[in-house]
Structure 1
Amino acid sequence: MSVAPLNQPLAVMPEPGGPQPSPLHVGLIMDGNRRWAKARGLPRALGHKAGVDAVRRTVQAAADSGIGWLTLFAFSSENWQRSADEVRDLTGLLRIYLRREVGTLAKNGVRLRVIGERHRFGPETVAAIEAAEAETAGNTRLNLTVALSYGARAEIAGAARSLAAEVAAGRLAPDAINEAMLARHLATQDMPDPDLIIRTSGEQRLSNFLLWQAAYAEFVFLDVLWPDFEAAHLDQALAEYRRRVRRFGVGSS
């Protein structure tokens, strides 16, 4: 897959055990829309709509905090198993978001990029995604990546298939394959690995999100449903991250 280069230099790994700066790349698992709606006796669709409002707030807060990369887990490959009505509501909200927000993203210096199996959303949505990516391609303040119909295991399997094809064609020796080479075949090939992954709703799992890339990420789990997520919650997670000591496997001594 050919991916245009991003607009900021890759992260430099901090010294193990040294002072912890703010994270350059934050991944966010947005969880709790349906529970938010159920708790209020509202239709699921209104929970997802409130979740879109939280996305708007969070993108602005991330840009204001100086975060260079923000990756949002918006729709997993497993979400296709939900009811047809809910999938239709989610895809409709996606198209509305792209139409209404792309101007604001461009104005605020945010570059939008989508990873995942975008073709599964149909030609109308794919066209809206491509238009939004093109309109924001020159922005440098914040690289916003939205994971849609994304699953990390499928991503890794796809990278393995690409490398296997190179071997089968005689263009690559099997013993030449290493971690860096596999990473270059992932959807995030031109991005730094996430420093921090946040999950809302109180759940404490990755749910097939950036499994390869999160090998040395810090995790913060917040007991707040996604539609209620505010800039203050992002600040809370960032403060917790700064208190951590990242050792990258070198030990505690």
Structure 2
Amino acid sequence: MNSVGTFVFDSIKPFVLKEANTNIRNDVNKEVKKLPQRFPNSISPFDQLIAELRRKVRDKGFDPYKVQDYNSSAGVFDIYLTHTWLYGVASFHRTKDIKFELRNKTAHMLVEVGTQRLMGTTNWDISFVAGMLSRAGTASFTVEYIRVQANASQSLDTSQHPNLDDIQVELGNIQVRFDGLGTVDYVIELAVNVIPNLLRYQIMDALEKPIRLKIQEALDQVNVERIIKENAKKLDSGKGLEGLEFL
């Protein structure tokens, strides 16, 4: 008699677990099928965030963007690029699918954002042997694209803030058109050959560090515990994904 209970339980356990697994799977699948209707792939939450960031970039007057002056030495030549402006930086958008991965109790996210073709202008000045001979002029240029790839992570310890692990900035091909060159001599030839590369260095130096700081600054303001608690209440109330708030 004492063994009857255990015998009965062991006999019906596989049947009960199988039924529970089937019912739970069916219920979860039904809810998952509803998600695309509430949250279409064409307007993901990250794309909505990107659209809001574009608006903020324009509102704060960062498009056009003034690049810091740049100077470099090439042998006996000193080259200066001043009053450099970049137009179209607010055209950035998501260029690839967002990738998530869980490793060592940490969630990793890889995001890539890129711009459309950018336009720019700059003033250039080349001096030879401490100013004994110099040439100056203006130039307009195009940058095929700027791409920013960011790798961020979030520990499963929700008391910690997200962290920016790595950032890569890539510039597309740069084409320069010089205005008012006048007589073509070896100084002008040097400008034509050197200035496109200097513009690349100038733009990279001006963008990479501020972008890194701004992203980490935004991540430091994310309170993961608060987000989880607030959104958990909304999910329990039946509002679905459209009611969730991440920022």
Q: TM-score range by the shorter chain?
A: under 0.3
TM-score of the superposed pair, with normalisation by structure 1:
0.23
TM-score of the superposed pair, with normalisation by structure 2:
0.23
Higher strand share: 2
User: Which gives a bigger RCO, structure 1 or 2 (Cα 8 Å, sep 6+)?
Assistant: 1
Bigger Rg, structure 1 or 2: 2
